[in-house]
Amino acid sequence: MPTPEPHFALSPLCHDLLPIPSVYSVAQIGVGYWGPNLLRNLAASDRCRVVAVADASAERRAFASKICPGARLAASAEEVVSDESIQAVVIATPARTHFKIAMEALRAGKHILVEKPIATSVREVDEIAREASARGLVAMSGHTFLFNPAVRFLKQVLSSGDLGDVRYIYSQRLNLGRIRSDVDALWNLAPHDISIMQYLMDDMPPSSIRRLGMDFIQPGIDDVVFLDLIYPCKALAHIHVSWLDPHKVRSLTIVGSKKMAVYDDVADSKIAIYDKGIEPKAVLGERMDYDAGQPPSFIHRTGDVRLPAIPWQEPLKNEIAHFIDCIEGKAACIAGPDHAREVVRILESAGATTGESCA
């Protein structure tokens, strides 16, 4: 399956007028739950300099000052966006604010890296894409697992044909705790798994999307969701997310026509390749012809289990390096508007409805 072209590209004119700096002036907006991880990696990068950090909370600003002692602290996103010296903005605010801040930053001429999801509707993603394209700017979504070495390795194995055709994929992202009130379990947890599956399937749009969820703790906010996808190539996908589970599970399994693979993010060996499968067995008939008038017979094949050694690299470090590569025109953005749009389309198509409450 061919890799789709990016939705936008850097304008050559942009490079003619503005020399590429060796170090980019970057600001981060939001230092909440995930923000500190982004800020730490930005501060450690030798390709950018964190000049400002914005957060409405004085406590979080004080926390940010310990990670980036030299950065200017701001109480609002507007203070950062209006600063002409800032070339790129990293947005790590609540999902409902992503679109507004992203559009303001683009209109101010800044490249943006927005924590997932990049927006809460396809319409908003399309507006971000148009604005970025018109201005020759990079708009990237923080789908961190695309920069995980184990996921990259799994993609290589799948693309090589070693697993054969994908028959089905299923994932589980489960835990007990961190219940959200602003989004349900699907919008909170499933963007990771949808992003991984779309990456593995070369961003092929699923032809069928079906959701089953239930709200147990807060009315209207599903705590557990089962999401089923069907791809045009006859591959099935199933995603199970929950913040009410007794076990912490972060796994994805691919069942192929030749082999099978398991990605377990909490295991020491992240990837396991199983040389297992079921194949039809030719049965010789009475008239010396195979399978004529015979019921089907099958062979259960069991071979080796391979645990490849995958050197660890921090995904966020890779993500930020890719963001800067895209700004410099060295790479097509794998987490750009096209990829982000399909993730949001699947989430939006699945809806946010809940099941009937039990009496």
pLDDT in tens, 253-271: 999 999 999 999 999 999 9
- pLDDT single digits (tens) 138-159: 999 999 999 999 999 999 999 9
Which is more confident, 210 or 355? 210
Q: Which pLDDT does position 280 carry in this prediction?
A: 75
Tell me how far CA of residue 138 lies from CA of 61, 87, 134, in angstroms. Answer: 27, 11, 11
Q: Which pLDDT does position 358 carry in this prediction?
A: 35
**CB–CB of 247/172 below 8 Å?**
no
- pLDDT single digits (tens) 1-23: 444 333 333 333 344 445 555 79
Q: Which pLDDT does position 343 carry in this prediction?
A: 98
Strand-pairing partners, residue 89, are: 27, 112
Reply yes or no on whether the pLDDT at 115 is more than 60.
yes
Query: Starting at the edge strand that comes first in sequence, how are the strands of the sheet with 139-142 ordered?
Result: 72-74, 48-54, 24-29, 88-91, 111-115, 139-142
Q: To the nearest whole number, what is the mean pLDDT of the chain? A: 90
- pLDDT single digits (tens) 50-79: 999 999 999 999 999 999 999 999 999 999
- pLDDT single digits (tens) 322-340: 999 999 999 999 999 999 9
Greatest CA separation for the chain: 86
Query: What b/e sequence results for 93-111 when a residue is b if at least 16 CB atoms lie within 10 Å of its CB, and e otherwise?
Result: bebeebbebbbbbbebebb
Supply φ then ψ for residue 30, to 5 degrees.
Answer: 100, 125
Q: Which pLDDT does position 16 carry in this prediction?
A: 45
Reply yes or no on whether the pLDDT at 206 is more than 80.
yes
Reply yes or no on whether the pLDDT at 356 is more than 80.
no
Residue 353 — very low, low, confident or very high, per pLDDT cuts 50/70/90?
very low
Report the share of the chain in percent with pLDDT over 90.
82
Q: Which pLDDT does position 278 carry in this prediction?
A: 81
272-291: average pLDDT: 74
Q: Which pLDDT does position 288 carry in this prediction?
A: 60
Minimal CA–CA distance to 55: which of 85, 24, 34? 34
Q: Which pLDDT does position 8 carry in this prediction?
A: 32
224-233: average pLDDT: 98
Task: Give the chain's domains with CATH numbers.
Answer: 12-143+315-346 (3.40.50.720), 147-314 (3.30.360.10)
Q: Which pLDDT does position 276 carry in this prediction?
A: 87
Reply yes or no on whether the pLDDT at 216 is more than 90.
yes
Cα atoms found within 13 Å of the Cα of residue 347, Cβ hemisphere only: 28
Distance CA 205, CA 54 (A): 36
